[in-house]
Structure 1
Amino acid sequence: MTLLVQKFGGTSVGSIDRIEAVADRVMKTYQQGHQIVVVLSAMAGETNRLLGLAKQIDEIPTARELDVLLSAGEQVSIALLAMALNRRGIKAQSLIADQVTIRTDNVFNNASITDVETERLTALLEQDNVVVVAGFQGRDSDNNITTLGRGGSDMTAVAIASALNATECQIFTDVDGVYSTDPRLVPDAKRLDVVHFEHMRTMASKGAKVLQLQSVEYALQHSVPLRVLSSFDDGEGTLVTFDIASTSSIVGIAILGNQVLLDVELSKEELQRQLSLFGVNVWSVTAKADSTQIVASNDDLARLRLVLDEKMRHIGDVSTLSMIGNDILEYSDEIRIFLSEAGIIVHNNQQQTDCLSFLIDKDNHKLAVNIIHKRFVVDQQRLDNPPLLAIY
Structure 2
Amino acid sequence: MSIIVQKFGGTSVANSEKIRNAAKRAVAKYKQGHKVVVVASARGKQTDELVADAHELNPNPPKREMDQLLSTGEQQTVSLMAMAIQGMGYKALSFTGHQIQMITDSVHSKARIESIGSEIIHEKLDEGYIVIAAGFQGIDEKGNVTTLGRGGSDTSAVAIAAALKAKQCEIYTDVDGIYTTDPRKYSKAVKIHQISYDEMLELASLGAGVMHGRAIEFGKKYGVEIQVRSSTLDIEGTLITQEVPQMEGILVSGATVQSDLAKITIIGIPHSPGNAAKVFSALAGTKISVNDIIQTELDDNSANLSFTISKNDLADALKTIKAIKAEIQYRELFIREDIAEVSAVGIGMRTHYGVADRMFKALAENKINIDSITTSEIRISCIVDKQQSDKALEVICDTFQLDKEPEERDM
d(CA) in 1 for partners of 2:133, 2:303:
52
Deviation at 1:208, TM superposition (A): 1.8
Q: What residue number does 2:326 align with?
A: none
Q: What residue number does 1:299 align with?
A: 312
Q: TM-score, normalised by structure 2?
A: 0.86
Counting matched residue pairs gives: 387
| 1:111-152 Cα distance to aligned partner (Å, 9 max, x none) | 111111122111211222111100011111112111111111
Q: What residue number does 2:166 align with?
A: 166
Specify which of 330, 345, 349 is matched with residue 324 of structure 1: 345
Gap runs ≥5 in structure 2 = 270-274, 324-331
Greater Cα offset, 149-158 or 368-377: 368-377
Deviation at 1:292, TM superposition (A): 5.1
Q: What residue number does 2:390 align with?
A: 366
Greater Cα offset, 284-293 or 113-122: 284-293
Q: Secondary structure at the match of 1:220?
A: helix
Q: Is the Cα contact below 8 Å between 1:249 and 1:388 reproduced in 2? A: no
Deviation at 1:217, TM superposition (A): 0.8
| 1:51-91 Cα distance to aligned partner (Å, 9 max, x none) | 22322333333332222112111111111111111112122
Residue type at the aligned position of 1:349:
I
Q: Is the Cα contact below 8 Å between 1:248 and 1:387 reproduced in 2? A: no
Q: How does 1:247-262 map to 2 (within 5 A)?
A: 247=247, 249-250=249-250, 251=252, 252-262=254-264
Q: Is the Cα contact below 8 Å between 1:248 and 1:388 reproduced in 2? A: no
Residue type at the aligned position of 1:278:
T
d(CA) in 1 for partners of 2:167, 2:5:
8
Deviation at 1:226, TM superposition (A): 0.8
Deviation at 1:299, TM superposition (A): 1.6
Deviation at 1:365, TM superposition (A): 2.1
Residue type at the aligned position of 2:396:
I
Residues 102 and 380 of structure 1: CA distance in aligned 2, closer, same or farther (over 3 Å): closer
d(CA) in 1 for partners of 2:47, 2:364:
43
Q: What residue number does 1:339 align with?
A: 363
Greater Cα offset, 160-169 or 102-111: 102-111
Q: Secondary structure at the match of 2:76?
A: helix
| 1:295-333 Cα distance to aligned partner (Å, 9 max, x none) | 332221332354467965554422111122235363112
Deviation at 1:198, TM superposition (A): 1.8
Q: What residue number does 1:128 align with?
A: 128
1:29 aligns with 2:29: yes
d(CA) in 2 for partners of 1:107, 1:31:
40
Q: What residue number does 1:181 align with?
A: 181
Deviation at 1:375, TM superposition (A): 2.0
Q: How does 1:1-392 map to 2 (within 5 A)?
A: 1-247=1-247, 249-250=249-250, 251=252, 252-263=254-265, 267=269, 269=276, 271-272=279-280, 274-280=282-288, 281-285=290-294, 289=302, 293-307=306-320, 314-328=335-349, 330-377=354-401
Q: TM-score, normalised by structure 1?
A: 0.90
| 1:146-197 Cα distance to aligned partner (Å, 9 max, x none) | 1111111111111110111111001111111111222112222111211111
d(CA) in 1 for partners of 2:55, 2:181:
38
Q: Secondary structure at the match of 1:171?
A: strand
Q: Secondary structure at the match of 1:43?
A: coil
Residues 33 and 188 of structure 1: CA distance in aligned 2, closer, same or farther (over 3 Å): same
d(CA) in 2 for partners of 1:197, 1:315:
32
Q: Is the Cα contact below 8 Å between 1:104 and 1:115 reproduced in 2? A: yes
RMSD between superposed Cα atoms in Å:
2.7
d(CA) in 2 for partners of 1:266, 1:43:
50
Residues 26 and 352 of structure 1: CA distance in aligned 2, closer, same or farther (over 3 Å): same
d(CA) in 2 for partners of 1:272, 1:104:
24
Q: Is the Cα contact below 8 Å between 1:316 and 1:361 reproduced in 2? A: no
Q: Is the Cα contact below 8 Å between 2:190 and 2:402 reproduced in 1? A: no
